[in-house]
Amino acid sequence: MTEKKRIQAILDILDKYYEKDVKCYLDHENPLQLLIATILSAQCTDDRVNIVTKDLFAKYKSAQDFAMANLKELEQDVKSTGFYKNKAKNIKTCATTIYEQYGGEVPQDLDALTELAGVGRKTANVVRGNIFKIPSVVVDTHVKRISIRWGITLCTDPVAIEMDLMKKLPKEHWIRYNTQVIAHGRAICTARAPKCMDCMFLALCPYGLSKRMDDLTEEAKEALEKGHMY
């Protein structure tokens, strides 16, 4: 099987088992809210962020509100997401730029987004893909781990992984690859104990196949013998 066909087979299985409609795991009602929720999600679970933003977005409704916020108070508002001093400072500075330079509207341009305080390529791509539907590859911890296990990339640097994925994945998969891979990473291909023997990608996954052959099911062994596996 060629590399291109193997990747397409992986994408077909993703589409078969996971939602094709992009589902953002961070609750939001507008671009600013998603931008701030994504800044808060660094080193924090989406569930925790969603608890915090419920009150946060009720209190601060616009870029101007965040720009005018009392920093100490904002720190307390986001404290439970961790690294709260940096996050609060970045949110206030970022919102000030959006308010003063962009009339309160989150910009779509990648360079403009990544120039905002606290906004790297990952955050920028989350907003561009989810909000503006601009084809973008978001490399988070699940995408990084699983893309390496699948052998789609050999890189470990997130920007290099993003470039690799943009080269190898058809553009129409760029946005949903992230949300589908997150779902797979949470359900089956977890960081510490991937359930390879129960995984629908096993036949296409170098990492899974490199695990002990003894652990393979009879069905998988038979498929391997017939040359159906990578």
| CA nearest neighbour of 175 among 120, 146, 133 | 133
Instruction: Considering only residues 141 through 180, tell me which ones interact with ligand SF4, judged by CB under 6 A.
Output: 146, 149
**Contact residues for 5 (Cβ-Cβ < 8 A; gap 6+):** none
Which of residues 34, 153, 194, 220 is near ligand SF4 by CB under 6 A? 194
Q: Which residues sit in the known binding site for [4Fe-4S] cluster?
A: 189, 196, 199, 205
Least distance between ligand SF4 and beta carbon 147 (Å): 10
| 164 is known as an active-site residue | no
3-state secondary structure of 58: helix
Which of residues 34, 67, 143, 205 is near ligand SF4 by CB under 6 A? 205
106/189 with CB nearer ligand SF4:
189
| 140 is known as an active-site residue | yes
Enumerate the H helices of the chain as residue ranges. Answer: 3-17, 31-40, 46-59, 63-67, 71-78, 84-101, 110-114, 121-130, 141-149, 158-168, 174-187, 206-210, 218-225
Which of residues 32, 143, 202, 229 is near ligand SF4 by CB under 6 A? 202
* Number of residues located near ligand SF4, criterion CB under 6 A: 13
189 binds ligand SF4 (CB under 6 A): yes
188 binds ligand SF4 (CB under 6 A): yes
Cα 99 from Cα 93, distance rounded (Å): 10
195 binds ligand SF4 (CB under 6 A): yes
- Binding range to ligand SF4, per CB under 6 A, among 11-19, 50-58, 187-195, 217-225: 187-195
**Contact residues for 193 (Cβ-Cβ < 8 A; gap 6+):** none
| CA nearest neighbour of 197 among 212, 187, 182 | 212
Which residues of the shown chain bind ligand SF4 in the complex (CB under 6 A)? 146, 149, 188-189, 194-196, 199, 201-202, 205, 207-208
